[in-house]
Amino acid sequence: MKELKSITILVIINSFIGSSVLYSQNTQIKGFVDALAGVQNDKLSFALGEQDLFITSELSDRFSFLGESVFRFTNTTPTKFSVSIERVVIKYNFYGNHNLLVGKHHTPINYWNDTYHHGRVLFPTIYRPLLFDANIIPLHTTGIGLQGHNLGDLKFGYDFMIGNGIGSTDVLDNDAKKSITAAIHIKPAEGLRFGISWYNDGIAKGAVGHDGMPMQWAVDQNLFSGSIAYFGNKFEVLAEGTLAINKTDTTGSQQTLASYIYAGFKIHEKIVPYVRLDNLSFQEGEIFYNNNNTTSIVGGIRYNINYVTTVKMEYQHQHAAKDGDSNRFSMQLAIGF
């Protein structure tokens, strides 16, 4: 009996050791950082960009973890820097290419937000498109989601996510309404991706919006987004648009259309001249966003020194209805480490 007990214990220990050998935790830490120089209003300035720490870990055969934390300049803290948790995603691969995701995510609402995250070396341009700066879309969702990818001949993919809505924190929702994101895409050819998405949230009166201002009315928000991305051996095209419909009981529905198109041409594997056109068009009476119709053109050149070192130079001309014209010349050195 005693011998049987010893054998049983040995078998249990062996099975634990065996599984730890097969699925030993593989953790990788990588990072991104960028430095900038820019001329605006006849003044040259140097700037630190973001320092992004990116951790992945295979916890077991089915569980994995991804974390992304960013250190950046913030004028409101004593140290003049702040740390933000950008992504904490625990993934459970329950079947084939289908996964359950829990944590804080970059909302999979469009290609840019779901692909580049804070890795500036991967950005096709120095700065994000204007629809990010204008807070048209929610960048993060803390919640739970289902994800599938590369399904069938068309390489169909989906993301369905439910989470804390706008005005919530990463630990508490401010109201009973949850945000819903539903996104699908196909990749019918090498480098080509078509995607559409829908985002819905009921934003409570008093909730703090993307711009830090409390809402004066409760808003029912629907965002419809579409994107076309093609990154081939010679040409690069990325076009995305979001139609935002914000409805309140007092002001009715207002529509905002935010879009951009990026195009690049590889004159050499490492050298890519590019342009990007942005447009923000707000309907009269829009109360959720800062109603400031804006157009912008960016022209630049990207030089990939190696796979983790990129230099970009670009010129941007912007016209905003409230702010008038502005011009900016920027240089960026972005690295991965």
Partner 1 sequence: MLLLFAGIIVKGQETTLIAISNKKGAPSIMKMTELKSVLKGEKQRWNDGTKVSIVLMKTNTPVGEATCQKIYNMSGDKVKRFWLGLSFSGKADAPIFCNSISELETIVAQTPGAIAILDKISIGTNTKTIVVDGKNSF
Q: How far is the CB of 304 from partner 1 (least distance, A)?
A: 7
Q: Which of 72, 155, 210, 328 binds partner 1 (CB under 8 A)?
A: 155
Total residue count of the chain as it appears in this document = 337
Question: Could you say which of 9, 15, 40, 61 contacts partner 1 (CB under 8 A)?
Answer: 61
Q: How many helices (H) and strands (E) does the chain have?
A: 3, 16
The dihedrals phi and psi of 112, each to the nearest 5 degrees, come to: -60, -50
The residue from 40, 97, 216, 292 that contacts partner 1 (CB under 8 A) is: 97
64 binds partner 1, rule: CB under 8 A: yes
Phi, psi angles (nearest 5°) of residue 151: -105, 125
- Looking only at residues 231 through 250 of this chain, which bind partner 1 when binding is defined by CB under 8 A? 233
Q: Return the beta strands (E) in 190-293 as ranges.
A: 192-203, 219-231, 235-248, 252-265, 271-282
Residue 40 token pair: 């605006």
Distance between CA atoms of residues 260 and 313, nearest Å: 19
Chain residues 175-234 in contact with partner 1, contact rule CB under 8 A:
233
- What minimum distance in Å lies between the beta carbon of 132 and partner 1? 17
Q: How far is the CB of 216 from partner 1 (least distance, A)?
A: 37
Judged by CB under 8 A, how many residues of this single chain contact partner 1? 33
152 belongs to the binding site for partner 1 (CB under 8 A): no
Count the neighbouring beta carbons within 10 Å of the beta carbon of residue 113: 22
Tell me: does residue 96 bind partner 1 (CB under 8 A).
yes
Check residue 22 for interaction with partner 1 (CB under 8 A): yes
Using the minimum distance from each CB to partner 1, give the nearer residue, 8 or 150.
150
The tokens describing 243, both together, are: 């139609």
Closest by CA to 167, choosing from 210, 131, 125, is 210
User: Which stretch, 149-157, 213-221, 250-258, 327-335, contacts partner 1 (CB under 8 A)?
Assistant: 149-157
- 252 in contact with partner 1 (CB under 8 A): no
Task: Tell how far CA 45 is from the center of its chain.
Answer: 27
- Window contacting partner 1 (CB under 8 A); options: 93-101, 206-214, 293-301, 317-325: 93-101
Between 101 and 180, whose beta carbon lies closer to partner 1?
101
Q: Nearest to residue 16, comparing CAs of 76, 60, 79?
A: 60
- The structure tokens listed for 133 are 């700066």
Joined tokens for residue 134: 């204008």
Dihedral over Cα of 198, 200, 206, 208: its sign: negative
Contacts with partner 1 by CB under 8 A lie at 22, 28, 30, 54, 56, 58, 61-62, 64, 66, 87, 89, 91, 93, 95-97, 99, 114-115, 117, 119, 122, 149-150, 155, 233, 269, 304, 306-308, 336
